[in-house]
Amino acid sequence: MSCGQTLIDYGLRSFGIGERLLPKTDITFCEQFVLIGSGMLWNIYFAVCALALGFIFATVLALGKASSHPWAQKSAGGFIFFFRGTPLFIQFFFAYELFVQLPRNGFEFAFLGTDITVETRWLTKAWAGALVVLWLNTSAYTAQIFYGALRAVPAGDIEAAKAYGMTGAQRFRRIIWPNMLRLSWASYTNEAIFLFHATTLVFFSAFPAWRQQGDALYYASYFAEQTFNPFIPYPIVAFWFVLGTLVIIGLFGLVNARLNRHLPSAPKIRYRPRLIR
Amino acid sequence: MRGFLFCMFESCADPSSLTGLAWFACYLTNGKHLLFYQSFGTVLGLLALAAPLALLFGFAGALAKRSQIPGLRQIGQVYVAMVRGIPDVVFFLFVPLLIDQGIEVVRHYSLCESTGPIYQGNDFVVCDAAKMPLSSAEPWVHSLYGFALALAAYAIVFGAFAANTLDGALSAVPTAQLETARAYGMNARQSFVRIQLPQMWIYALPGLANLWQILIKATPLLFLLGIEDIVYWARELGGTKGSRFAYPHPDWRIYYFAALLVFYMIMTWGSEKVFNRLQVRMSVGQATLSGKGAAL
Amino acid sequence: MKKALISALAAGLFAVPALADTVRMGTEAAYPPYNFVNDNGDVDGFDIDVGNLLCSLADLDCTWVKNDWDSIIPNLVAGNYDTIMAGMSITAERDEIIDFSEGYLPPDPSLYAALEGTDAGVLTSGVVAAQTNTIQAGYVAESGATLVEFATPDETISAVINGEADAVLADGAYIQEQIEATGGQLVSMDSVMIGGGLGIGVRESDTELKAKLNAALAQIKKDGRLNDLIIKWFDDESKAIY
């Protein structure tokens, strides 16, 4: 079978498109490379969705933690403490066990005279359940980064904005928020990279792979078990992830340049370590 | 310990007759649970050994990265960059296998009398004397060996991160201090050992504290290495148990995982407290803001 | 500790080979009544009883090693242990990679289980859970039902109870034990005959060990001790055919 055919058969296998059965005998390098690459789509899906949702929630959490309202401060702080203080790996296990306890037929309740059913069953599936965990987890880490940046926004900038007669909302949108992003962007880039790496844990914790649709590491371990040779599939995963990491660094670098375009030269991003949480 | 517990709960001999608290007391002290409690020791042991080992690897990495020798410098840089670009889970799955097979191949060629092919079809065959550890070794030797392999994986991954932190901290030592050392007539080696190294710690501390927290949160990955750690026992104990077992119960995994979450929260919370105090103590007399007293 | 390790290794290295050969026996320890961890934290079950009996007859010094089902064959092949006794059915597919001893349990029909009141149609058109790399998973994949795979047997049962899957397919004895353990939430459905009975997995290159195990196996089949163990663990005369 040619490699082009393999690409057609297995290129989208991780989403259930293409050949139904995984290769079992006479596994070629091409099959490993394509199928593991196909699994990468899940890692990208989890990373992009969790980061996008987490960005919004983290802003809210950071504002909550920085607010003077004791209730907002406590709840945001507690949320951040819980997710930053425990391992993501166990959060996955716990969340899965929690999601399966939810009623199978969903919650039914009356709202404004109409009966509403909240479906909960999909939460036990990786695409939703694991995404929720990753989303909350990255929100907590990002919120902590944003919180630190919020406190570092120059007081003079805010005073100047007040002097210009800006309202609170205007001040936030035009002064505080851009400053917060600019100051936290280097740390946030690190968070994005490590969230991307953490997506490999999804199918290694409790979430089952439906119809053998899994992420890059899921297929890599499948091949390692089928071929009894871990020395090919794992380096392939490594290759894909190095590639992905470089793309993240590139994209975030572009945003960084835009955030700092008013400065004579944009501060360079330094990547600091932060792996599995 | 076990004898003591059995004395305490002599009534545990017949669990089916127990109810309520007595049942729980016996259930939580059966042999399987004692193994669960021991596995917390495994986690703490891993932390206690992996941290200094990673620091050692980190030092080697940082020195390599800063080395004047061209080849060595690139090795240091690649080591640090590689661990950053690749998910640590991949290392955890791969490194122990690599080391294990590597050791056995070397031993096969040095210890075996007749060296047949190692790869026979699917089989990976080394002679009995080359097995690591030997098949005849006690089970605890095997578990210790598995643990050592896991430890090596942790040291390599966390060593790369520590190398980065230490490299940064070494650069952060004010040049004025090093120039002063030179002015006192110290050579490069002396100024490194006497000034730069001791002065580096205060700059490295926040990064190392962060790394320690990450290390704590990476310990459940021991489970992926096939080591019977707290995650293994939580899953095993929590599963549904039928009447074949002395203490039948439905699926309780969620409670066991909740207990693990609490354990980790205590660990990270306590570590944070310790590091904060350490930071205050080490800052005394330093040329930093906190070191000069709150003279803002 | 370190010293102890080194001296233990040295002792093992230079000692004259002991009289009894050491054999490391791999098992999953999560599939009652075949193999599981009992309340004392020790491995227990039919596989373990048979294995220990064979070892004593063949004059082998056996230790049990727990290993996840996923990687149980790769780790045998890599030499981490020497046999697999984990309720593993003899199949042509597995036989290509490893070798099997003679059978030590006749084929056990696999059973579907589902929540009470489940329509039998789900077995061919619904979502069916099975453990990864089992004969049951292979069967479901070809049955037309949607296969959902789990790493451990425990999880396949939970998946049905919490509604993630419509039914589960596993070895009959295991299913019956779980139906009892879950207090009547599950009922057994159809049974299907797959696999060729249980055998002891050994490396293909390990012909000597295989011969020893087969000899011991023939002996306990002849003197009825295997039948006794089958009845002890499965309480089913029809399986005690040796």
pLDDT score for C128: 93
Q: How confident is the prediction for chain A on average, in pLDDT?
A: 88
Beta-carbon-side half-sphere exposure of residue B79 (alpha carbons within 13 Å): 26
Chains touching chain A, criterion 3+ CB pairs below 8 Å: B, C
CA distance A211 to chain C (A): 6
Cβ neighbours of C77 in B, within 8 Å: 122-124
Which pair of tokens denotes residue A237?
Answer: 């995963």
Average pLDDT score over residue span B149-162: 94
The structural domain count of chain A equals 1
* Interstrand relation of C83-84 and C198-202 (parallel, antiparallel or unpaired): antiparallel
Whether B48 has its CB under 8 Å from any CB of chain C: the answer is: no
Q: Is residue B158 scored above 90 in pLDDT?
A: yes
Q: How confident is the prediction for chain B on average, in pLDDT?
A: 87
Beta-carbon-side half-sphere exposure of residue B246 (alpha carbons within 13 Å): 21
pTM over 0.90: no
CA-nearest residue of chain C to B26?
Answer: C39
Query: Does the beta-carbon distance from A86 to B85 stay under 8 Å?
Result: no
Whether B245 has its CB under 8 Å from any CB of chain A: the answer is: no
Q: What is the pLDDT of residues C225-241, one digit of tens each?
A: 999 999 999 988 888 88
Whether A49 has its CB under 8 Å from any CB of chain C: the answer is: no
User: Is-contact B202 B286, C-beta < 8 A?
Assistant: yes
CA distance B256 to chain C (A): 15
Which pair of tokens denotes residue B139?
Answer: 């089970």
CA B81 to chain CA centroid, Å, is: 21
Query: Does the beta-carbon distance from C158 to B240 stay under 8 Å?
Result: yes
pLDDT score for A82: 96
Beta-carbon-side half-sphere exposure of residue A118 (alpha carbons within 13 Å): 8
Q: CA A115, CA B183: separation in Å to the nearest integer?
A: 83
Query: Does the beta-carbon distance from B161 to A204 stay under 8 Å?
Result: no
Cβ neighbours of B123 in C, within 8 Å: 77, 79, 203-205
Cβ neighbours of B240 in C, within 8 Å: 154, 157-158, 178, 181-182
* Interstrand relation of C36-37 and C43-44 (parallel, antiparallel or unpaired): antiparallel
Average pLDDT score over residue span C17-42: 85
Cβ neighbours of C98 in B, within 8 Å: 122
Q: Which of A2-11, B54-63, B120-129 has the lowest mean pLDDT?
A: B120-129
Whether C212 has its CB under 8 Å from any CB of chain B: the answer is: no
**Is A61 a member of any domain?**
yes
pLDDT score for A117: 67
Q: Is residue A76 scored above 80 in pLDDT?
A: yes
Q: Confidence band (pLDDT; 50, 70, 90) for A41?
A: very high
Q: In chain A, which among 85-114 make CB contacts under 8 A with chain C?
A: 100-101, 104
Query: Does the beta-carbon distance from B32 to C181 stay under 8 Å?
Result: no
Domain that holds residue A57: 3-259
Q: Is residue A78 scored above 90 in pLDDT?
A: yes
**Is A269 a member of any domain?**
no
| CATH number (domain holding residue A252) | 1.10.3720.10
CA-nearest residue of chain C to B241?
Answer: C181
Q: Is residue C102 scored above 60 in pLDDT?
A: yes
Whether A185 has its CB under 8 Å from any CB of chain B: the answer is: no
Q: How confident is the prediction for chain C on average, in pLDDT?
A: 87
Hey, what domains does chain B have and what are their CATH numbers? 34-250 (1.10.3720.10)
Whether B137 has its CB under 8 Å from any CB of chain A: the answer is: no
pLDDT score for B286: 77
Q: What is the pLDDT of residues C161-201, one digit of tens each?
A: 877 789 999 999 999 989 988 877 899 999 999 888 999 99
A209 or B85: which carries more pLDDT confidence? B85
Q: What is the pLDDT of residues B245-290, one digit of tens each?
A: 889 888 899 999 999 999 999 999 999 999 999 988 888 877 666 6
Q: What is the pLDDT of residues A117-175, one digit of tens each?
A: 667 778 888 899 999 999 999 999 999 999 999 999 998 999 999 999 999 899 999 99
Sequence-ordered list of residues with C-beta below 8 angstroms from that of B97, at least 6 positions apart, any chain: A230
CATH topology of domain C21-107+196-239: D-Maltodextrin-Binding Protein; domain 2 (3.40.190)
Among C41, C61, C180, select the one facing B242 at the smallest CB separation.
C180
The CATH code for residues C110-192 is 3.40.190.10
Question: Same CATH topology for C21-107+196-239 and C110-192?
Answer: yes
Is the confidence metric ipTM above 0.95 for this complex?
A: no
Q: Is residue B113 scored above 90 in pLDDT?
A: no
**Is A80 a member of any domain?**
yes
